[in-house]
């Protein structure tokens, strides 16, 4: 008996569904960057994508699931732009500096659009639930990566073994938060340069004589700048 071929239509339909969902998430992410996760709604995203509300709802089932999908997509893009490229740099300070340089590149573009991590923390800091859990998980993963790079810098002999690695990580993260506040909210000129100097100062306090000299690429993040923060 000849085996009956399995129709390819279900597979094509599933692929098309995933593509449509990706388009929706991309539009929702762009919208959330401007108005925050709390501002997202099935109706607003349907209007932006020129789809019906029922069509958008069919892919997510709820506004909350749409918000979570946006958080996960933001995290995936953040890792792709900031974390994974830094793994190509040598362990220790070169990798930590590359991570920060990549972080600054992304931050310089988000001065226009906004950061989901920062706006989300403001919106959901005191609101337990799946959206807050997704935000906390994403930020915690990134903070752990920064801390790991600092510890590796100590093991490579680039930072002193007695340096408080969690304090270093705390101060580095604080620079990014201050940069968003100063550059995006207050529009203070020179904010990006001050953040870069601040990073160098943090490392200098714990650096050893074996610490490698930063390359130009790692020391000066490139990318688009707003005229208010040059």
pLDDT digits (tens, 9 = 90+) for 104-125: 999 888 887 788 999 999 999 9
pLDDT for the residue numbered 18: 83
pLDDT for the residue numbered 13: 60
Is residue 215 helix, strand or coil?
Answer: coil
Distance in angstroms (rounded) separating the CA atoms of residues 35 and 18: 25
- pTM for this predicted structure: 0.83
Alpha helical stretches, state H, 36-129:
42-49, 53-60, 63-78, 84-86, 93-113, 116-124
pLDDT digits (tens, 9 = 90+) for 68-101: 999 999 999 999 999 999 999 999 999 999 999 9
**Residue 159: beta bridge partners?**
207
pLDDT for the residue numbered 143: 96
């Amino acid at each position: 008996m000849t085996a009956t071929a399995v129709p390819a239509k279900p597979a094509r339909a599933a692929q098309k569904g995933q593509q449509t969902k990706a388009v929706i998430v991309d539009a929702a992410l762009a919208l959330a960057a401007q108005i925050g996760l709390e501002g997202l709604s099935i109706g607003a995203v349907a209007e932006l994508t020129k789809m019906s509300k029922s069509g958008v709802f069919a892919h997510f089932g709820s506004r909350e699931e749409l918000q979570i999908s946006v958080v996960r997509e933001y995290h995936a893009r953040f890792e792709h732009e900031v974390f994974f490229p830094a793994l190509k740099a040598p362990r220790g300070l070169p990798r930590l500096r590359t991570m920060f340089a990549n972080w600054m590149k992304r931050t310089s573009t988000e001065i226009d659009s906004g950061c989901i991590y920062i706006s989300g923390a403001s919106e959901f800091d005191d609101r337990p639930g799946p959206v807050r859990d997704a935000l906390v998980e994403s930020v915690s993963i990134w903070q752990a990566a920064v801390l790991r790079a600092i510890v590796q810098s100590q093991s490579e002999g680039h930072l002193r073994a007695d340096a408080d690695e969690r304090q270093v990580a705390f101060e580095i993260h604080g620079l990014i938060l201050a940069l968003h506040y100063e550059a995006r909210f207050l529009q203070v000129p020179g904010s990006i340069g001050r953040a870069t100097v601040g990073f160098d100062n943090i490392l200098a306090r714990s650096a050893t004589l074996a610490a490698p000299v930063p390359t130009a690429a790692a020391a000066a993040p490139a990318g688009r700048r707003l005229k208010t923060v040059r």
